[in-house]
Structure 1
Amino acid sequence: MTYAVSASLQTAVYGLLQADAALGALVGAAIFDRPPAGSMPGLYVALGPERVREAGDKTAYGAWHEFEVSVVTESAGFLDAKNAAGAISDVLHGADVALGRGVLVGLWFLRARAGLETDGRRRIDLTFRARVEDTVAP
């Protein structure tokens, strides 16, 4: 098992989201690795929790990463959030991107959950699954 590729995967996912014109047209620059303190934009995207399982074998260290990307909006309905969530899914599902360390074997949409926050904001949590292998031999 290795967790060593996690930072490279996060950097690649964040970069893909920031570079996507369709998502940028919807949320502007409001794509966060970590939401800043203070007031938030009316619609934003944030990287969220990650769960990792071992997936190595005799030939390579590897791991399955399940991570969330959240869309949060103050809008009265879910339409803006769903449009942004769709753009995120389009950009990440099946993405082929080089990692700073390791190799991305595959990246897939897994599930989504839409709901209301206690403060009335709408939130969609998209979960993606990535399979990575480390380039450092076991």
Structure 2
Amino acid sequence: MRHVDFAAVQAGVFAQISADPEIKALIGTHIFDGVPPGVVPDLYLLIGPELVIDKSDFTQSGSEHQLLISALSRGHGFKEAKRLAGFVVNALHAKPPNLDKGRVVFVHFSKANAWRDPQLDARRVDVTFLLRCAQDDAL
């Protein structure tokens, strides 16, 4: 695996979901890569963690990114968190995110897990995506 820009996938995913009108209408700019300090919004997204696996072959560098995106709601019930998680799935399936370096070959929704997170006092829906990326360089 050469020339992999790990931040490019996160930046591309962030740009894709930030631009989605349904997500924007529901949470505005409340998309983070860690729990925000201070007052936490009632509904927000967390991007990460991410596991990257080398998928290079003899012709091209490539990687598979197992990315977790979490929808969190501090309100009662799971309805809003599940709704937000659904919008994220739709946004990433609408078209692959653009990357500064390389390209996303495909995006696959892998699984979702809804649970109560006592540490954050929130209802949480963790959505796992598989993103296959190819670098535009020859090996």
TM-score of the superposed pair, with normalisation by structure 2: 0.92
Q: What is the CA distance between 1:6 and its match in structure 2?
A: 2.1
Aligned to 1:77: 77
Q: What is the CA distance between 1:3 and its match in structure 2?
A: 6.7
Instruction: Tell me which stretches of 4 or more aligned residues in structure 1 moved more than 3 Å.
Output: none
Q: What is the CA distance between 1:9 and its match in structure 2?
A: 1.2
Query: Are 2:43 and 2:74, in contact at CA under 8 Å, matched by a contact in 1?
Result: yes
Query: Are 1:94 and 1:108, in contact at CA under 8 Å, matched by a contact in 2?
Result: no
2:117 is the alignment partner of 1:134: no
Aligned to 1:124: 125
Aligned to 2:52: 52
Query: Aligned AA for 2:125?
Result: I
Matches within 5 A, 1:62-101: 62-93=62-93, 95-101=95-101
TM-score of the superposed pair, with normalisation by structure 1: 0.93
- Comparing 58-67 with 4-13, greater Cα deviation is found at 4-13
5+ residue gaps, structure 2, are none
Query: Are 2:3 and 2:135, in contact at CA under 8 Å, matched by a contact in 1?
Result: no
Aligned to 1:106: 106
Q: How many residues align?
A: 138
How far apart, CA to CA, are the structure 2 residues paired with 1:3 and 1:32? 26
- Comparing 88-97 with 38-47, greater Cα deviation is found at 88-97
Q: What is the CA distance between 1:26 and its match in structure 2?
A: 1.1
Query: Are 1:2 and 1:61, in contact at CA under 8 Å, matched by a contact in 2?
Result: yes
Q: RMSD of the alignment, in Å?
A: 1.5
Secondary structure at the residue paired with 1:17?
Answer: helix
Q: What is the CA distance between 1:94 and its match in structure 2?
A: 5.3
Query: Aligned AA for 2:20?
Result: D
Identity value in percent: 34
Query: Aligned AA for 2:29?
Result: A
How far apart, CA to CA, are the structure 1 residues paired with 2:3 and 2:49? 15
5+ residue gaps, structure 1, are none
